[in-house]
Amino acid sequence: MDKIVKYINTQTNNKYQNLLFFGAVLSQNTSTMQIKFDIDDKSLKSQENVEELKELCKKYLCSYINKIEIIFKNCSLTMEEFKDVCKIVLNNYFSLSNTELSNIVFNFNDEITKIIVPIKFSILNNPEVNDIIKDIKNEISSKTNQNVEIEFEESSTTSLNLLDDRKSQILEDTMIDEVMNKNKKVELSNIERVFGDFDSSNAYLAGSLIDEPENEIISVVGVLKSVDIRETKPKEAEEGKRQLSPRKYLSFELEYDGETTKCILFFTKDMAEPIMPNLDSIVVVQGKFNNFNGNSSIRVSSIAKCTFVPPQKVYRSAPSNYRYVKPEPYEFTEQINFFLQDEVTKKDYLLNNTFIVYDLETTGIKPELNYIIDIGAFKIVKGKIVEKFSTFVNPECEIPEEASKVNRITNKLVENSPTIDMVLPDFYKFCEGSIIVGYNNINFDDLFIAKESKRLSYNFDNKRDDVFNIAKKNILGLKNYKLSTVCQAENVPLIDAHRAINDALATAKLFIKLVEKYY
């Protein structure tokens, strides 16, 4: 329990035992602190209770604060969730290069929330600025059910810096793409004809073809898998038209490093069926690249056996700067000694390592079929939470109703969010040099990250730890080991579970606490 909530209940004989602390904002100019709580019992939100809480907080804080304001949250989002939604909306209007999202100021009060947005270059003279403010205000109000006021504040960063940043990004991306493209092709040797006239000395690796021009003649090499003889099934011809006959064809796949390319060889009249090499042989084909209804394949004209030297695996490096999701300092006032214990850790594991504690929300439970829609993560340095990384992710598909019932994330909420292709490079940069931690992450979250990182060629080879395993090993006798159960047993707050940023924060606090107790 937070220290201030514990103090309040000690003074009131547990009158506010279900009181939740959501955050505090301190004005250094006026020494006024706004403290935000929530409690299920509406009868305890009266003005009389507000005054009582105000006096208790004043006594607790002694002479540190001149004035206390008590606010009960009145929307379905926590303060941090509200901030995240606002930043996602703002980023849809101004790219990360054009706004300083980490420096946005939120002034909370009972009636309206004022949001002050620093803009890296002035658009205040733009004739459409008032319409932009109105649109942002309406979208945030719609998504959060809160009254907001938007104010733009010009930042000193010049547009010249932004242009230089953009040029650097383009150059960096071009260099990465050149390296990745070179890694798609290999030189062939020991070529033995199987069918047709194969006439190439190099080939693409199976699974590496994504955006090749339609009908271009290309060569693809890989390990032979799943050979079948099949027949087309023509639709019944309309009256007066000639009925097409079934066509026999050979269907097989070439595989490399878990990725596959489908190959099809149509038989012509009087053509002898080719004698295919054994499964798991290395085979190269030549033919036209075909993409039908999003399914790519090779219309084969020749087949050969061969050998090749597998290329050295090339991974993308982290971008030099964050592109779409910029980490923010973890500055909850609850971290100030007013509210939580502020002891310096003596545990070598915490002192000598940096940790990223993260959580995902997804469209389902199967990594091979489902997609990430929410990432929340916190960085721990020397036993303290210092930074957070949070974003919704557009899965580019419909979110199933069953998933939305669990995590309350809807299609509307993510429709303007960055895709995983945009988010993952920034998350990779955030995780560099850290031990990655989660709650049952090894059996769930890590599998989703592994799928996407393999597709995008990022190597998340960080050491891993799992709070679920720590808890199961050391906390005996619990009815189950769900995150909520373990948090309750260890008096760690878990507010609005099944949202990535909230679960990640609870997991980070739980991780620190369990390491302090059991390592």
**pLDDT tens, residue by residue, 290-324:** 876 667 789 999 999 999 998 887 788 888 888 88
State how far the Cα of 430 lies from the Cα of 388, in Å rounded to an integer: 9
Q: Where are the domains of the chain?
A: 3-72, 96-155, 184-233+246-308, 328-518
CATH match for 3-72 among 1.10.10, 3.30.450, 1.10.287, 3.30.300: 3.30.300
Higher pLDDT, 5 or 479: 479
| Tokens 């607790």 belong to residue | 60
What is the reported pLDDT for 174?
61
Question: Residue holding tokens 């303060």?
Answer: 79
Question: Catalytic pick from 36, 73, 316, 498?
Answer: 498
Q: How far is CA 376 from CA 178, 363, 379, 511, in A?
A: 32, 15, 11, 15
Burial class (CB in 10 A: 0-12, 13-18, 19+), 402: exposed
E strand segments, 162-294:
185-195, 202-205, 217-231, 248-256, 259-266, 282-292
Q: Report the amino acid identity of residue 97.
A: S
Cα dihedral 53, 54, 59, 60 in deg (nearest 10): 70
In whole angstroms, give the CA distance from residue 347 to residue 382: 9
Strands 67-72 and 32-38 turn out to be parallel
Q: Are 205 and 256 in contact (CB under 8 A)?
A: yes
Retrieve residue 265's tokens.
Answer: 């060889």
498 is catalytic: yes
Query: Each residue of 441-461: pLDDT tens digit?
Result: 888 999 999 999 988 889 999
Contact assessment for residue 50 and residue 69, using Cβ atoms and an 8 Å cutoff: no
CATH assignment of 328-518, among 1.10.10.10, 1.10.8.350, 1.10.1370.30, 3.30.420.10: 3.30.420.10
Helix/strand/coil (H/E/C) assignment for every residue in 443-507: HCHHHHHHHHHHHHCCCCCCCEEEHHHHHHHHCCCCCCCCHHHHHHHCCCCCCCCCCHHHHHHHH
Record the tokens describing residue 162, joined without a space. Answer: 């932004």
Helix, strand or coil for residue 376?
Answer: strand
Three-state SS at 430? helix
* Of the candidates 445, 392, 459, the residue with the CA atom closest to the CA atom of residue 419: 392
Predicted confidence (pLDDT) per residue in 461-499, tens digit: 999 999 999 999 999 999 999 999 999 999 888 877 778
**Higher per-residue pLDDT: 434 or 408:** 434
Percent of the chain with pLDDT over 90: 39
| Domain 96-155 -> CATH class | alpha beta
- Determine the topology of domain 184-233+246-308 in CATH: OB fold (Dihydrolipoamide Acetyltransferase, E2P) (2.40.50)
Give yes or no for a contact between 406 and 374, defined as CB atoms under 8 angstroms apart.
Answer: no
